[in-house]
Amino acid sequence: MKRNLFFKILFSYLVIVCLSFFILDLLIKDEIKKVMTDKIEAELLSYAELIDLSSAQKMSDQLKQIALISSARVTLVDAQGRVFADSEKDIAQLENHFSRPELQEARLKGKGKSIRFSQSIGVDMLYVAIPMKSESPITGYIRLARPLHDVQNVIEKIYQSIFLAMMIVAVIALFIALIFSYRLAAPIRALERFTERLRQGHPVGAIFLETSDETKMLADNINYLVDELQSQIRLANEEKSKLMTAFTSMTEGVLILNAEDKIEFVNQALSNMLADQYEDINGKTLMEAFLNADLQKSFLKFKATHSTILEEVTLGSVDPVIVSVSISSVHNYPGEEKVMVVFHDVTMVKKLEKIRVDFVANVTHEIRTPLTAIIGYLETINAGAINNIDDVKRFIDISLKQARRLNRLVEDLLVISKVELGEIKLHFEAVSIRDVFLGALPLFEAQAGLKKLNIQNNFQQNLPHILADRDRLTQILVNVLDNAIKFTPEDGSIFIDVGQKDNHVVLTITDTGIGIPKEEVQRLGERFYRVDRSRSRDLGGTGLGLSIVKHLMIAHDGRMEIESQLGRGTKVSLFFSMVKI
């Protein structure tokens, strides 16, 4: 409802007033003309009857005087229509008047009249005629004609009065129309402003009109609807807030498909899950968003059966994400079918399951090998080799070696398990990594000397202390150094650098050993993982050294980074947090 409602109402009033004046004009104009014409007609007939009281000869002699008295043109016509006397024109120039309508009417009815336009004076003329008083048959006619100037003049005067009255009435009507239009439009404008504020979402309260007509009832109805609408919106917002809170707090990814099978909602968990693999998927179909045939096949299966579908799907190709997908209908949307797809990331579960299987297989294998050797040698001794002292001594040495290896394996497994379960109590203190490293280095001097390895130390001056458990820090350094010495061939080199980077103290151990393939680097730190299993076993390793280092570094709020190239050596970097002063 715009402001032109006021002008519409005002225009309606003006149209009614103007139409009333127009109809009044039509009626008055015709009525005035009729009354004035009838008056002139009666007057001319009266003059004609008076003229008819004289003889024809006398009438002819006094024709101009009669015309002057009657203010009309007087014409005397015989029974054949010939003019034998006229007050204005020469009778010789006049044609036969027998066919004139006023004469024909007078011949039949005793009197006749006719109104015709005069080309000579440019005005309507009223003609009246009566038969001359005589015995039958008719001997002639008396015709009087007068221009209707008087009628036109009277009409003009009356029109002037009417126009003046119309102007006065129009001004009064306009004023009244303005008042009524404003009073009629005012409550509508108030309702318009109220509903506009409501549409824009501003606080509106209630609207009150000081009227007693339908607009008052309309305002009351709007107030009722606003209260109901606000209650419904408040409830809807509360439900939406609860739903959004539930969706955003869910660890599972959730998306909603509309009736056109296009994605209209994605929760934060799913966005985080797919951030590295997919762009914005809103407004797309499942196939357009994920380009995954298995997911599309599951969705089509749901569309065909309309029953909940549970499938396991792998998304992405660069860094695949394994998800358990649940596809089901969303109810409470009358007239619009919506579908909810829930993604539960089971990538880590699958990886852990694989690690568990590999772990069981590796532990079984690692334990079986020394146990088999121990049992085999003991059975050999028991079978009779006990009588051969040299063989018994050699068998016992091998069995003891395998038993110690088995013991190291069990100890390493216990260390990893305790670190993961938080059962190892770490006693953190500010320690100098340089002092701890130099204290551990003599443990490997004999081993490094046998292989003629060149160990070079490069420690920056004034290094800050780190927060660490001294014993576990020694264990970390021993494991890393042990690997570097084991896998570096004779006459090789090991470089130890300790420096500061950002907010960390970084210990780097670089060797010139055999190295490992680039694609295998990411698997270092897995339990029992060996690049060359036979070589590692021959060197006495359990396959748990770097796994222990990895878990202990995490317990120290640090990290381990490994760089390696096959045949060019390996670089292990250990990042420790500095002590904050």
* Residue 172 forms part of a structural domain: no
Instruction: Check whether residue 375 and residue 325 sit in a common domain.
Output: no
- CATH label of the domain that carries residue 408: 1.10.287.130
Residue 551 lies in a domain: yes
For residue 447, being part of any structural domain is answered with yes
- Give yes or no: residues 331 and 366 share one domain: no
Would you state the pLDDT for residue 2?
46
- In tens, the pLDDT along 288-337 reads 888 888 888 888 888 888 888 888 888 877 678 888 888 888 776 555 67
- When divided into structural domains, the chain yields a total of 4
Q: How many residues does the chain have?
A: 581
What domain range includes position 557? 425-577
Same domain, 147 and 259: no
- If asked whether residues 296 and 391 sit together in one domain, one would say no
Instruction: Answer yes or no: do 319 and 359 share one domain.
Output: no
Q: What is the pLDDT of residue 121?
A: 61
CA distance 496 to 552: 20
DSSP state letter for 490: T
Could you list the pLDDT tens digit for every one of the 581 residues in the chain?
A: 444 666 666 677 777 777 777 777 777 767 777 777 888 888 888 888 888 777 767 777 777 888 888 888 888 888 888 888 888 888 888 888 888 888 888 888 888 888 888 765 677 888 899 888 755 677 888 888 888 776 677 777 777 777 787 778 778 877 777 777 777 777 777 777 777 777 776 666 777 676 766 777 777 777 777 777 778 878 877 777 776 777 667 778 888 888 888 888 888 778 777 776 777 788 888 888 888 888 888 888 888 888 888 888 888 776 788 888 888 887 765 556 788 888 888 877 877 777 666 666 656 656 676 777 777 777 777 776 666 777 778 778 877 877 777 776 677 667 666 666 666 677 888 888 888 888 888 888 888 888 888 888 887 777 888 888 888 888 888 888 888 888 888 888 888 888 888 788 888 888 888 877 766 656 555 555 554 444 444 444 455 667 777 878 888 888 888 888 787 888 888 888 887 65
37 and 121 part of one domain? yes
pLDDT at position 85: 85
The answer to whether residue 476 is domain-embedded is yes
Write down the pLDDT at residue 536: 44
Q: Tell me whether residue 245 is in a domain.
A: no
Do residues 338 and 363 share a domain?
Answer: no
Pair type for strands 263-266 and 309-315: unpaired
Q: Is 528 left (phi over 0), alpha (psi -120 to 50) or beta?
A: left
Same domain flag for 449 and 512 = yes
User: Which of residues 301, 327, 345 is at a domain's end?
Assistant: 345
Residue 75 resides in a domain: yes
Backbone phi and psi for residue 573, each to the nearest 5 degrees, phi listed first: -115, 130
| Rounded distance between C-alpha atoms, residue 552 and residue 419, angstroms | 7
Residue 435 belongs to domain with CATH number: 3.30.565.10
Same domain, 335 and 456: no
How far apart are the C-alpha atoms of 404 and 399, rounded to whole Å? 9
Contact indicator for 427, 556 with CB cutoff of 8 Å: no
Residues 487, 514: contact at Cβ < 8 Å? Answer: yes
Cβ burial, residue 257 (10 Å; 0-12/13-18/19+): buried
What proportions of the chain, in percent to the nearest 5, are helix, strand and coil? 55, 20, 25
d(CA 132, CA 54): 10
- Tell me the CATH number at 70: 3.30.450.20
Q: What is the pLDDT of residue 134?
A: 58
If you write DSSP's letter for every residue of 517-539 in order, what string do you get?
-GGGGGGBTBTT--SSHHHHHHT
- Within a domain: 478: yes
pLDDT digits (tens, 9 = 90+) for 484-542: 888 888 888 888 888 888 788 888 888 888 877 766 656 555 555 554 444 444 444 45
CA angle, 299 then 331 then 336, to 5°: 75
Q: What is the pLDDT of residue 538?
A: 47
Distances in whole angstroms, Cα of residue 199 to Cα of each of 195, 205, 233:
6, 13, 13
Q: Which of 403, 419, 435 is the last residue of a domain?
A: 419
Question: In the beta sheet, which residues pair with residue 558?
Answer: none
Residue at which a domain ends, from 345, 367, 385: 345
Residues 269 and 360 in one domain: no
**Domain co-membership, 437 together with 562:** yes
Q: Is 415 part of a structural domain of the chain?
A: yes
Q: How far apart are the first and last CA of the chain?
A: 72
Tokens 């500061």 -> residue: 500
- The verdict on 397 and 475 lying in the same domain is no
Q: Which amino acid appears at position 208 of this protein?
A: F
Cis peptide before 320 (omega within 30 of 0): no
